[in-house]
Structure 1
């Protein structure tokens, strides 16, 4: 299966781009609108392998969109911004055990305490993790993704928020950015996790694992 990576650089003068950047739900619908199978529920996202991440860079804001089908960039509104797509197949085919890589992921680290623990400490059913607890969560996820972590830099991000269009129920996924270096221990497992994404909140900008060969000092 071919994976595609699309980089969208929104034009801040575009009303549509400004609206999408303000809400995770609107951005979800925007990226899904680039595919002809788009409907309102979450199943097309899984079927099309859609994952995305919005991020700020020194050159400005951008949206990274990964998908199992090439998106139709002509579906973006006029003046939305610049966009380009490339296949990820060469990168994925080059993965091998022992290869040093750089990684980045905006994830939704959570814990689901048992009923007794929730009642004892008056916790919610889903507890977002921060600091060392979030780092431990990422270490477990990385190990189960075929990675041996080298360095980890984590920083909290603004939560992915919005209201579902179908029923106006609020959406909120706390996010932490993890980036650093690692060594591949299982290339097949890593390819699967890159394709499927990691953690919860995938429909709203969480879970896209970006990797690249690390050519710096080992």
Structure 2
């Protein structure tokens, strides 16, 4: 059974600020809440900090977790109210059907594989695959590139994004002149609500890890329930250990129905 959790984090406590600022530390806190994991289990999480005073951690787990340690160390352990909530994910998965529409949110790390990067990081350590194939995994850094990355891949994840009701994309999201889809891609029901670039180090190494992310929100229409379920449970794109890849669905606002 799969569970989706919502955990409140206190940004005024030192431990809370550390979790909010360090994806590696938050990843460790997530793993500490899951008592049993099996080989191949996928754990997805995302930090939603739309309101800086009420950040929320979302976690998708294949077994029932316990978030008491986060509440005690980085929450409001003695306050009233619900500190975390854990819900069975099965009812949502049962609603997946061709043609159904949902609002969605996704924090992802849009990347491209290239053998001729414009700006290769001299401190970056190549993976074994890159050494063999002489290619780099480079982040998309502009909003237009990140949006194109998403739109080019939705069918492989089992959904499409309907055409937008607005006349044109929001400022900064117009396709670039070098984009081959610039003349054919209509505006879609999706927008980037947050873009971020963070740097941190892994334990035992001084080589910095740079994470470039984009948070997408919009409206999707299901084309293949099986593919969408795989994307929901397995995540989308790279950097899943650092809070990327969790796609969440919600009912559409009444004006979209």
SS at match of 1:57: coil
Question: Given that residues 109 and 212 in structure 2 are in contact (C-alpha distance below 8 angstroms), is that contact kept between their aligned partners in structure 1?
Answer: yes
Q: How far, CA to CA, are the matches of 1:132 and 1:189 in structure 2?
A: 25
Alignment of 1:117-196 (within 5 A): 117-118=116-117, 121=118, 123=120, 125-129=136-140, 130-150=142-162, 151-196=189-234
SS at match of 1:76: helix
Correspondence for 1:74 among 47, 53, 68: 68
Question: Given that residues 11 and 20 in structure 2 are in contact (C-alpha distance below 8 angstroms), is that contact kept between their aligned partners in structure 1?
Answer: no
Question: Given that residues 22 and 200 in structure 2 are in contact (C-alpha distance below 8 angstroms), is that contact kept between their aligned partners in structure 1?
Answer: yes
Instruction: Measure how far apart 1:157 and its partner are.
Output: 2.3
Cα RMSD for the two superposed structures: 2.1
Correspondence for 1:49 among 34, 42, 45: 42
Q: How far, CA to CA, are the matches of 1:18 and 1:212 in structure 2?
A: 28
Map Cα deviations across residues 71-118 of structure 1 (whole Å, 9 max, x no partner).
1223335253221111111001111001011110010001111x3x34
Indicate how the Cα distance of structure 1 residues 165 and 102 shifts in structure 2: closer, same or farther if over 3 A, else same: same
Q: How far, CA to CA, are the matches of 2:238 and 2:94 in structure 1?
A: 26
Which structure shows the bigger proportion of residues in strand conformation?
1
Q: How far, CA to CA, are the matches of 2:154 and 2:14 in structure 1?
A: 38
Structure 1, unmatched stretches of 5+, are 39-43
Q: How far, CA to CA, are the matches of 1:107 and 1:53 in structure 2?
A: 10
Indicate how the Cα distance of structure 1 residues 122 and 30 shifts in structure 2: closer, same or farther if over 3 A, else same: closer
Indicate how the Cα distance of structure 1 residues 93 and 171 shifts in structure 2: closer, same or farther if over 3 A, else same: same
Instruction: Measure how far apart 1:14 and its partner are.
Output: 2.8
Structure 2, unmatched stretches of 5+, are 76-82, 122-135, 163-188
**1:14 matched to which residue of 2?**
13
SS at match of 1:18: helix
* TM-score of the pair, normalised by structure 1: 0.86
Question: Given that residues 8 and 71 in structure 2 are in contact (C-alpha distance below 8 angstroms), is that contact kept between their aligned partners in structure 1?
Answer: no
Indicate how the Cα distance of structure 1 residues 25 and 126 shifts in structure 2: closer, same or farther if over 3 A, else same: same
Question: Given that residues 48 and 69 in structure 1 are in contact (C-alpha distance below 8 angstroms), is that contact kept between their aligned partners in structure 2?
Answer: no
Confirm whether residue 205 of structure 1 aligns to residue 243 of structure 2. Answer: yes
Correspondence for 1:62 among 53, 56, 60: 56
Q: How far, CA to CA, are the matches of 1:137 and 1:10 in structure 2?
A: 31
Question: Given that residues 109 and 211 in structure 2 are in contact (C-alpha distance below 8 angstroms), is that contact kept between their aligned partners in structure 1?
Answer: yes
Indicate how the Cα distance of structure 1 residues 123 and 80 shifts in structure 2: closer, same or farther if over 3 A, else same: closer
Question: Given that residues 160 and 204 in structure 1 are in contact (C-alpha distance below 8 angstroms), is that contact kept between their aligned partners in structure 2?
Answer: no
Q: How many residues align?
A: 207
